[in-house]
Amino acid sequence: MHAAAEDEEALAKAVLEAKMGRLGELGKLGSAARARHDAFEAALLAEHPTHLPLLLHSLQHARTAAAPDDIEEGIAATAWRASRVADAAGRLMAPDGPIEPSAVAEHFGQHQDSSADASKEAKDKGKEMDEQQAALRLAALAKAHALSEALPLADLPPDLEIGPPDAEAPSAVAGGATSGEQDAAREAFFSSVVQMKLWVGGEADVADDGEKDVLALTLARYECARARPGAALAILRKQMAKHHPASARAKEVAAETIALYRHLGLEAWATNVEELLVERFPVVGTPL
């Protein structure tokens, strides 16, 4: 009877792994298979709502998938993506989800024996907590960044006095949204950053270079939304100083820096960054 139960468990695990493999293949097909991917993902989530690898796939796909053809790139696509990312992150961080934040906090709040003579149980527990902590950090950062996309650097509070006297005042309403909707978006973003900071204390908590850029962009937008453009510039400039041509989001960080300089009326500084971009990312022409 015990052997039969083991066989059944092994079969179920193999089937799930095969389904996950197929889901990954559909995700790589892009917009051509979006409907099939989303339907398959929804079915798997209904069947395995706490399967960590599935939830992580769902989050990654939400962050990278292109918007449907009937949604224009820009504000509408940003809102569509932010909603999907927030939903996926919410499933990871839900009270009945696969992660126990209190257990993770307790585990890392104590000294853990990581030596070679640690028990197998201790090592397995440590591996599980590492995975949960990494998933928590990723989900919290992804959600905050997605919500920050609705609050570009130019969306500073309208009563903030910046730039030269003749500089155009920033609009209180961006992209056709009402001021009430903008206030609600800002509050949701603030809340997500507060939650993110519980798990992401700095770039040392983010392993991937691309995600370090995401963290810098998110925190810079947070400072802008708090009417602290100087602090935002400090974050962006510090991140730019670390970049090399292979940095995944180096151009995006630089572009945000340029946009903020121009919003503040600092055209000379914006031009300097543009020249720096040309030096770091030279345009290579096609050989004749």
Structure confidence at residue 268 (pLDDT):
93
Rounded Cα–Cα distance for residues 56 and 201 (Å): 21
Structure confidence at residue 189 (pLDDT):
92
How does pLDDT run across 41-59, given as a tens digit for each residue?
999 999 999 999 999 999 9
- Provide Rg for the chain, Cα atoms: 22
Residues 118 and 47 sit within 8 Å (Cβ to Cβ): no
Residues of the chain with pLDDT under 70: 1, 110-117, 152-179, 244-247, 281-288
Q: Which two tokens stand for residue 26?
A: 């559909």
How does pLDDT run across 221-238, given as a tens digit for each residue?
999 988 899 999 999 999
Q: Domain residue spans in the chain?
A: 203-282
Q: Report the first-to-last Cα separation within the chain, whole angstroms.
A: 74
